[in-house]
Amino acid sequence: MKGRNTLVWLCAITVGIVIKMTMGMAIHPAMFLFGDSLLDVGTNNHFHECTARADHPYYGIDYPDSIATGRFSNGLSSADLLAWYLNDYEFSPPPFLTLTESSATLQLELFHGTNFASAGSGILIDTGHAHFKRVVPLWEQIQQFATIRGNISQLLGNGTADLFLGISTCIVSVGSNDLFEHQNALVQNQTQPDQLIANLTATFAIHLQNLYDLGARKFGIIGVPPLGCCPKERYIDTQMGGNGSCVDAMNDLAQAFHASTESLLRNFSSTNQGVVYSLGNTYNIIMDFIDNRRASGFEVVETACCGNGTFNAESGCELGSKLCPNRKNYIFWDEFHPTEATARRAALTLAYADGPEFVTPMNFSTLAKAFTNM
């Protein structure tokens, strides 16, 4: 009799805790971020051998206390700004590899979300490997998400964990590195653009399905930017005898991949119950900054703020590089990446834009608020 009472009490306490957690924490949607350097907030710092790292000056020069955290920016990155506009977080959730260093931290932070993004990584498992030695491919990022899902399930139970993941937003920025990596093969006509796009899209579809099967329902996809207009590509254009204009072939590829992703997401959402998504047209957003530099508030749209040589893009940003003083006026921070000012304006556009030019079929703030039927 006594034993039975104890059992009843234990159950009551357990249920009490679960409900409290459900009301107090799990009911708030979290944010999970996947992909490449646009969203990496320090994942790659964990790999000694990795060369795609931003944990040295002048990265972070405008970050609080000028710390180089691994963000590929002079200050805050797109991950932080989206976390701010969509979830009221001051910063992005921490990297998975930082969270898992201590189980106390993990349990504390778990309900805000996790950042899995790794600079240099791509849709294809090999992307970034030869170049940067060690990155976390999207495939492995999703395995890490499965671990987090397991940890959440242990704390909340499977049903509540599903509810929690279902109302949380998954942000994905991927594809740029896959396209860059194949640039030479495309130029040399060893790879056909259509085949590359088809392969990337089909592989992306598998990744999204895996995320869905793990409980993700809300997908904020950040499309690839006009890759051909980054300072590095303008520099490459001059190397090929051009005058430093955008590399059309890379921009065409970026647009083709965007269109293909749009089709993929339509299919994906129609075949998987409960999926809601936003696709950000980063191509249009950045092109608009470049074409309307006055209206958008940028003065320098071709040259990187930090680097060296032609367009400040002959080498990466490092101690001793040329560094612009007026960083708010530049679209590009280094040879590939946007400044905080650009990331802020782009994140604002993704979050709140009206109409289909910049984000379809809904903006990211509407996505983040959506409650899906599971």
Which residues of the chain form contacts with ligand NAG (CB under 6 A)?
103, 106-107, 147, 150-151, 153-154, 158, 189, 199, 201-203, 242-243, 245, 260, 263-264, 267, 308-309, 315, 320-321, 352, 354, 362-363, 365-366
**Exposed, middle or buried: residue 102 (CB in 10 Å: 0-12, 13-18, 19+)?**
exposed
Q: To the nearest whole angstrom, how small is the minimum distance from the Cβ of residue 159 to ligand NAG? A: 8
Task: For ligand NAG, give the closer residue by CB, 3 or 320.
Answer: 320
Q: To the nearest whole angstrom, how small is the minimum distance from the Cβ of residue 292 to ligand NAG? A: 18
Task: For ligand NAG, give the closer residue by CB, 284 or 321.
Answer: 321
Task: For ligand NAG, give the closer residue by CB, 3 or 355.
Answer: 355
Q: How far apart are CA 129 and CA 152, in angstroms?
A: 31
Q: To the nearest whole angstrom, how small is the minimum distance from the Cβ of residue 75 to ligand NAG? A: 21
182 carries an active-site annotation: no
Q: To the nearest whole angstrom, how small is the minimum distance from the Cβ of residue 58 to ligand NAG? A: 11
Q: Which of 37, 77, 121, 260 is catalytic?
A: 37
334 carries an active-site annotation: yes
Say which residues have a Cβ less than 8 Å from residue 9's Cβ, sequence separation at least 6: none
113 DSSP β-pair partners: 31
Q: To the nearest whole angstrom, how small is the minimum distance from the Cβ of residue 154 to ligand NAG? A: 6
DSSP per-residue letters across 118-156: -TT--SSTTTTHHHHS----HHHHHHHHHHHHHHHHHHH
Q: 357 to each of 284, 285, 325, 349, 360, how far by Cα in Å?
A: 7, 8, 33, 10, 8
Task: For ligand NAG, give the closer residue by CB, 243 or 373.
Answer: 243
Instruction: Identify whether the C-beta of residue 331 lies closer than 8 Å to the C-beta of residue 286.
Output: yes
HSE toward the beta carbon, residue 74, CA cutoff 13 A: 25
112 carries an active-site annotation: no
Q: To the nearest whole angstrom, how small is the minimum distance from the Cβ of residue 64 to ligand NAG? A: 26
Task: Kindly provide the b/e burial profile for residues 303-314, where b requires at least 16 CB atoms within 10 angstroms of the residue's own CB.
Answer: bbbbbbebbbbb
Task: For ligand NAG, give the closer residue by CB, 64 or 206.
Answer: 206
Task: For ligand NAG, give the closer residue by CB, 147 or 292.
Answer: 147
Q: Which residue has the tokens 């249920």?
A: 15
Measured distance between the N- and C-terminal CA atoms of the chain, rounded to whole angstroms? 41
Residues recorded for the chain? 374
Instruction: Identify whether the C-beta of residue 45 lies closer than 8 Å to the C-beta of residue 134.
Output: no
Q: Which of 168, 260, 337, 365 is catalytic?
A: 337
Mapping DSSP to helix (H, G, I), strand (E, B) and coil, where does residue 40 land? coil
Query: Catalytic residues, which ones?
Result: 37, 334, 337
